[in-house]
Structure 1
Amino acid sequence: MTQKPVVIGVAGGTGSGKTTVAREIYRNFKDKSILMIEQDAYYKDQSHKTMEERVRTNYDHPLAFDNDLLIDHLQKLLTYNKIEKPVYDYANHTRAEEVSVVEPKDVIILEGILILEDERLRNLMDIKLFVDTDADIRIIRRLVRDIEERGRTLDSVINQYTSVVRPMHLQFIEPTKRYADVIIPEGGQNLVAIDLMVTKIRTILEQKEIL
């Protein structure tokens, strides 16, 4: 295999719509050789900690992620080797015992809030996107997601957002915007930007003779 896979990074704050953008790109190439990796799967294992300690973990800080493992897995996929991706158990705030076997593909979409923060990760990407959405929209989306999907209370989500999520966004996530090749305003609602990205990605894949 002479060509290495194309890696597309999709970053942005919590609730920005980055997952929607990543899924839309995936959907446009779903009949091709493509896979998606979520940085959230690479939260560090906390099985050695008490539940109280796990709950107190700052999940919006770069140190919450096991980037060494993520980079190792990306490098394996880039040489067309399969990986055993971790599965994160949000209810117990640690990794689940099971893993997800991921076969290598020609296109890898890497999605997460802090994927542009680590230079080693950035260096593995061919295209770097940052989904930029107003803070009020992001907090509303996070409220809905955490209450409906993760069983959190309204008070706990608001408290976490004001004490942790917002300051971490300003300190670590927002500054990574400067590393992006393309900034997409308003996330998954921006169909024009997504169409442009799909066209660009298609061009790159054709140049690499992947399509």
Structure 2
Amino acid sequence: MIKPLLLALALSATGAHAMVIGGKIVDQTGTGEFEILDPTTGFTVGSDNFDSCNLFAFDEDQNIVLSEPIRVDIGPNSGMIAQGTEVASHYVFFDSVNGTHFGYVDFDAPILGVAAFQDTMGATDFLANTDVFYIGEELRGLENGDRAWIDPDNPDRLWVSWAGSSPGDYIRVFTARSVGAAMM
């Protein structure tokens, strides 16, 4: 019952940007918080341009039927999301100067997989389609010791345990068809 209420609140609070519906930093060094960014504002993400203790997320392209399979590093589908699957793409990152955090991001649909390293992120850039300018692409992904995983009891929740430094930690999350995007 809580999820439909959260979705309705997210839709009313953010208009068209309801696919990432929330998140929280549970423990960290620093004073950051979770923040959903609006990709229509045209910001730059990548190489140390945020320098914040916040955990950020924003929506990329939504409800796209894959014309070919995509490889993922984390997920229940044996490292692949099949051709013909309808996916919504989201970007999650932590760009601190020097800090660590443990937290989560909630989506409005089950997570199908996560691109967590440079090669899988580069191969899925065609799913970005935002007004965001991506820089430092060769340094995207997770660093040694960083972890991201799908909650085994809640497939709409991604947990992260990251230590941020230059240039930060960046991943792309693929969910099933987004109910929020379909309502637009």
- The TM-score, its normalising length taken from structure 1, stands at 0.27
Bigger fraction of residues in helix: 1
User: Whose RCO is larger (CA < 8 A, sep 6+)?
Assistant: 1
Bigger fraction of residues in strand: 2
Higher Rg: 1
